[in-house]
Amino acid sequence: MNDQFEIKQKANNLRKAGNYSEAITIYKELWNNSTVKDKWVGWGFAYCLTHIKEYETALNICNEVFNIDPEFVYIKSVYAQCIYLGKIKSFDEKASLISFELTISDLLQKCEGTEFRKFVDLSILEFVKLCADKFKWDDVLKWLKTIDPQKLDTEEFRGTNSEGKHFVKPSPKETYYHKYSKALNETEQFQECLKTSDEGLSFFPKSVWFKYYKANALRKLQNYQEAIKLFEKVKLTKKDWFVLNGLAAAYYCSGSIDLAYQTFLEAVNGSVNVPNPEFRTDLYFLGALILDKKNMPEQAALHSELACKLRSEIDWKIPGYIFNDRMTRNVTGERTAKEIFNILRKFWRDEEEKIFPVYEGRISKLLESGAAGFISLENKESIFFKFSSVIGNKGAIKPGVKVSFNIKNSFDTKKNKESEAAFNVKIVG
């Protein structure tokens, strides 16, 4: 008996010292040769196996320990860690969501009531992210309700990928509030979305996403002025088409048609080269409504037709409000979505150039990244531009070349202040 105790202590000491491989050899012998298995030996065995990434073997030991004592808290913690690191992190995204959900359900059942929730919650968050990617918003809400956000870690994860580039991933708590706010937004629970976004902002006040979800909820709740204020703040650092779409819609609903049109043009021109325009049908439909107010019925009809064609050509259901709008307009229906898009992209650019003054200057500097540069102007500081805003032959953009361009408000992330940027950059002559 004393020999067994001493052997067990030796294994425990090796485990505590981080000598997991040596400890495993002793734990394995104790576990396999005991007629009455000791749950603490099983726990130590599984714990060490987990640390050398032998997750499958560790899970088998965990299940044996569960048979001895299904309420053993320490084995629940190791089991959850094995499931997360051994199964969840390597889960094939092409596999069935059902099999993933069964794994999570089993994990939650076995580890219910344990104070060691870290890996249980991390597993649920991974499943939630997959559900969100597949637009399963009801499932997102269902599973997030099993998590207590107050117990989630607020520290972001920093790492280095295989190419040596550094990356940052949001903390579990930020991920929780992000997915919860988005799901509430997508399921049109806007009042609850306001509350959840505010909770997220209380922990992460710099998060653009929570501000965006809150602004969108305010717009949907018809609080247009507050929505506009918040959208404008979001726009300073995030000019994605969906942010501009929300802002343009808020301006439209508040009766500020010219601002709505200007923002709409910024959204469509900024996303003209972004893939999958079918995801932007609401943006193009908004354009139809704005152009009606601008007394431009032919262009409005093109936008309405584009919104329909983008969805019908890939057999997506056309929302009733878009279909009904199209039926009231004089459209032939003979053009493809691509043909309509090519007609409108020139119209969008021409319209934007009418709104913003045209300047001329010379390329003064190109950044080493090759993605941006600066233009010098007379009696004005050099202005920043991105190559994505160049119209025509980008290869001809070199220092000294004369260009024309428009200017819009921007945000300098390095200096953390508002600035200006050139767009619609064209070579002169």
Q: Of 95, 124, 151, which residue constitutes the final position of a domain?
A: 151
- Residues 365, 375, single domain; the answer is yes
- Residues 302, 384, single domain; the answer is no
State which amino acid sits at residue 364.
S
- Residues 341, 361, single domain; the answer is no
pLDDT of 386 strictly over 90: no
DSSP β-ladder status, 166-169 and 157-160: antiparallel
- Residues 420, 291, single domain; the answer is no
Examine residue 211 and state whether it is found in any structural domain, yes or no.
no
CB atoms within 10 A of CB 135: 10
- Residues 378, 321, single domain; the answer is no
- Residues 51, 139, single domain; the answer is yes
**What is the C-alpha separation between 302 and 96, in angstroms, rounded?**
40
Residues 61-78 have a mean pLDDT of 93
- Residues 12, 143, single domain; the answer is yes
pLDDT of 162 strictly over 80: no
Lowest mean pLDDT among 5-19, 100-114, 208-222: 100-114
- Residues 144, 30, single domain; the answer is yes
- Residues 58, 77, single domain; the answer is yes
State which amino acid sits at residue 40.
W
Return the pLDDT at 408: 81
Return the pLDDT at 165: 81
HEC per residue, the chain = CHHHHHHHHHHHHHHHCCCHHHHHHHHHHHHHHCCCCCHHHHHHHHHHHHHCCCHHHHHHHHHHHHHHCCCCHHHHHHHHHHHHHHHHCCCCCCCCHHHHHHHHHHHHHHCCCCCCCHHHHHHHHHHHHHHHHCCCHHHHHHHHCCCCHHHCCCCCEEEECCCCCEEEECCHHHHHHHHHHHHHHHCCCHHHHHHHHHHHHHHCCCCHHHHHHHHHHHHHCCCHHHHHHHHHHHHHHCCCHHHHHHHHHHHHHCCCHHHHHHHHHHHHHHCCCCCCHHHHHHHHHHHHHHHHHCCCHHHHHHHHHHHHHHHHCCCCCCCHHHHHHHHCCCCCCCCCHHHHHHHHHHHHHHHHHHHCCCEEEEEEEECCCCCEEEEEECCEEEEEEEHHHECCCHHHCCCCCEEEEEEEEEEECCCCEEEEEEEEEEECC
Q: Of 327, 355, 383, which residue constitutes the final position of a domain?
A: 355
Of the candidates 184, 346, 353, 345, the one whose C-alpha atom is nearest the C-alpha of residue 277 is: 345
- Residues 67, 116, single domain; the answer is yes
**What is the C-alpha separation between 31 and 45, in angstroms, rounded?**
8
Examine residue 28 and state whether it is found in any structural domain, yes or no.
yes
**What is the C-alpha separation between 152 and 120, in angstroms, rounded?**
11
Lowest mean pLDDT among 24-33, 127-136, 293-302, 323-332: 323-332
Backbone angles phi, psi at 400, to 5 degrees: 95, -15
Examine residue 386 and state whether it is found in any structural domain, yes or no.
yes
Beta bridge partners of 362: 376, 402
Residues 228-255 have a mean pLDDT of 95
Backbone angles phi, psi at 216, to 5 degrees: -65, -40
Residue 141 or 110, more confident? 141
Average pLDDT score over the chain: 91
Instruction: Check if the beta carbon of residue 231 is closer than 8 Å to that of residue 243.
Output: yes
The domain containing residue 376 runs over which residues? 356-427
Examine residue 60 and state whether it is found in any structural domain, yes or no.
yes
Domain with residue 363: its CATH number is 2.40.50.140
Quickly tell me which residue has 């940052």 as its tokens.
168
The tokens of 193 are what?
């979305």
**What is the C-alpha separation between 200 and 209, in angstroms, rounded?**
9
Examine residue 106 and state whether it is found in any structural domain, yes or no.
yes
Residues 354-373 have a mean pLDDT of 88
Examine residue 183 and state whether it is found in any structural domain, yes or no.
no
**What is the C-alpha separation between 111 and 124, in angstroms, rounded?**
12
Q: How many domains does the chain have?
A: 3
Chain centroid to CA 142: 19
The tokens of 255 are what?
């009766």
**What is the C-alpha separation between 216 and 234, in angstroms, rounded?**
11
- Residues 279, 381, single domain; the answer is no
When pLDDT is cut at 50, 70 and 90, the band that residue 1 belongs to is: very low
Q: Of 151, 176, 204, which residue constitutes the final position of a domain?
A: 151
Domain with residue 94: its CATH number is 1.25.40.10
When pLDDT is cut at 50, 70 and 90, the band that residue 351 belongs to is: very high
244: left (phi over 0), alpha (psi -120 to 50) or beta: alpha
- Residues 279, 318, single domain; the answer is yes
Examine residue 422 and state whether it is found in any structural domain, yes or no.
yes
pLDDT of 169 strictly over 50: yes
Examine residue 263 and state whether it is found in any structural domain, yes or no.
yes
**What is the C-alpha separation between 198 and 191, in angstroms, rounded?**
11
